[in-house]
Structure 1
Amino acid sequence: MNDVKGKWALVTGASRGIGREIALFMAQAGANVVVQSRQLTGTTDLVAQIKALGVDAYAVAGELSEEADVLKIADEVLAKTQIDILFNNAGVQPKAHEDWSEMGTDEFIWTYKVNLMAPMILIGAFLPGMIERGWGRIINTTSGIKNQPEQTAYAASKGALDKATKDFAKKLNGTDVTMNLADPGWIRTDLGGANAHHGVETVTSGMVVAAFLDDKKTGRWFSAQDFAGMTLEDAVVKAEAQE
């Protein structure tokens, strides 16, 4: 199992929900953490919590639907430190349309900008350094949503992210730089809503496990709910057995 002590992780969408849980877990494991949110005030208390755990942390802010903001985030981070572990966690989901034909082009564009293009820009910024150093982990948050045409924009953006992630597998397999997918399931967060099946506390092991794997496999899909309630050590054993 990888030791992440002293490594730098970047978590997008870290101000609340799943992103916040990921950031705190990585800090508890000894990683330094960069947290991203729309506004710096959204992560002030989180940065303080992380530093109290004895690791370093700072915040970056920007709107992930704006390419200029995403590029600025990448430049700001690279000016301060390397990134060893990238969690492309942030995501948006337009309201469901009972009549899917009412879904506007603007909803598709907005969703793709945040759920696909922002991750790809950040991958483009940090993956070359990982390859050069010979170690890196990228975890892209996906979704198992299906058979819901009223959520087409969201589902299609995640499907595109899945395809991009799996395409990198051919280039990265066998190296010590991996890129994998993590599906949290339907979670009670601002995005998932109050009627979702699972609490946010159920996802942590499954959402972070790919950062700790040492088997050099890439392009895999991990369902976080398969690891709910497990210790990190047990989650790693289970994940490494997954093809």
Structure 2
Amino acid sequence: MVDVKGRWALITGASRGIGYLTALFMASKGCNLILHARKKEILERLAKKVELFGVKCYTMEAELSNPDSIRAMLQKIDETGVQVDIVLNNAGLQVTYRTDYFKTPSEDYDLSFRVNTTAPMMICYHFMPKMIERGFGRIVNTSSGINGEPQQGPYSASKAALDKVTKDLALTVDGTDVMINLADPGWCRTDLGGPNAPNSAESTIPGICVGVFLDDKKSGRWLSAQDYTGLTIEEAVAKAMKIS
């Protein structure tokens, strides 16, 4: 199992929900963090909490629907001089629930793909070559098991696209110590999932980030976080390693 102590991880969408919990979990394992949100100010409380674990922390802001904002954030991360070995692309957007889905505007697709597909892939394309050069890296892109809901067509399509490009990228590094995988948190009670979801945000830990700790050089897995609820990270890793 990978020891993340002293390594640096970028977590997008860290200000609330699953990203917030992921940041606390990674910090508890000794991982230094780069936390992303739309505005840095809303990360102040979380930054103070993770630093109590004795780890270092930077906060970054970017509007993920704006490629120029993403590029600016990536440049600022580079300017810190830290070596990003882990990326957890947690941030996501569900525009709305369109009951009259035949009237879904094209703008819904444009915004969904910008945030849910283009943004995480820009981040992957930035850090993955550096990981390959160093011979180590872990990327976990947040997927979705959504199915059969045309009311959320733009969201499901953008996540399906993320799945596809992630699995294609996985073929280029499979068998190396640069690993890229997908994690599905399940339907959770978050700002995105809403209050009626069957699962708590806490149920995604440690499953949402188990891909970070795998060390069998296999990429392209689709990992359901709900399959690891209640397990220790050691137990979760042992279970996930059985997935081909």
Q: For residues 168-207 of structure 1, what are the structure 2 equivalents within 5 Å?
A: 168-207=169-208
Deviation digits for residues 23-47 of structure 1 (CA, Å, limit 9, x no counterpart): 1111110110000000011100111
Q: Aligned equivalents of 1:45 and 1:184: distance in 2?
A: 24
Question: How far did 1:204 drift?
Answer: 1.2
Question: How far did 1:169 drift?
Answer: 1.8
Question: How far did 1:95 drift?
Answer: 1.1
Q: Counterpart of 2:215 in structure 1: which amino acid?
A: D
Which residue pairs with 1:42 in the alignment?
42
Which residue pairs with 1:78 in the alignment?
78
Q: Aligned equivalents of 2:2 and 2:208: distance in 1?
A: 15
Q: Aligned equivalents of 2:105 and 2:178: distance in 1?
A: 38
Q: Aligned equivalents of 1:48 and 1:198: distance in 2?
A: 27
Which residue pairs with 2:220 in the alignment?
219
Deviation digits for residues 87-132 of structure 1 (CA, Å, limit 9, x no counterpart): 0100000111122111111110001000000001111111111001
Q: Aligned equivalents of 1:51 and 1:68: distance in 2?
A: 30
Q: Aligned equivalents of 1:28 and 1:184: distance in 2?
A: 20
Q: For residues 80-229 of structure 1, what are the structure 2 equivalents within 5 Å?
A: 80=80, 81-229=82-230
Q: Are 2:30 and 1:30 aligned?
A: yes
Deviation digits for residues 182-231 of structure 1 (CA, Å, limit 9, x no counterpart): 00000000000000010111001111100000101001100000001111
Which residue pairs with 2:240 in the alignment?
239
Q: Aligned equivalents of 1:163 and 1:237: distance in 2?
A: 26
SS at match of 1:84: strand
SS at match of 1:77: helix
Q: Counterpart of 1:21 in structure 2: which amino acid?
A: L
SS at match of 1:164: helix
Q: Aligned equivalents of 1:112 and 1:42: distance in 2?
A: 25
Alignment root-mean-square deviation, CA: 0.6
Number of aligned residue pairs: 243
Q: Aligned equivalents of 1:156 and 1:37: distance in 2?
A: 24
Percent identical residues: 48
Which residue pairs with 1:55 in the alignment?
55
Q: Aligned equivalents of 1:170 and 1:2: distance in 2?
A: 21
SS at match of 2:240: helix
Question: How far did 1:177 drift?
Answer: 0.2
Deviation digits for residues 38-68 of structure 1 (CA, Å, limit 9, x no counterpart): 0011100111111111010010001000000
Question: How far did 1:76 drift?
Answer: 0.6
Q: Aligned equivalents of 1:170 and 1:181: distance in 2?
A: 13
Which residue pairs with 1:16 in the alignment?
16
Gaps in structure 2 of 5+ consecutive residues: none
Q: Counterpart of 2:93 in structure 1: which amino acid?
A: V
Runs of 4 or more, structure 1, over 6 Å off, are none
Q: Counterpart of 1:221 in structure 2: which amino acid?
A: W
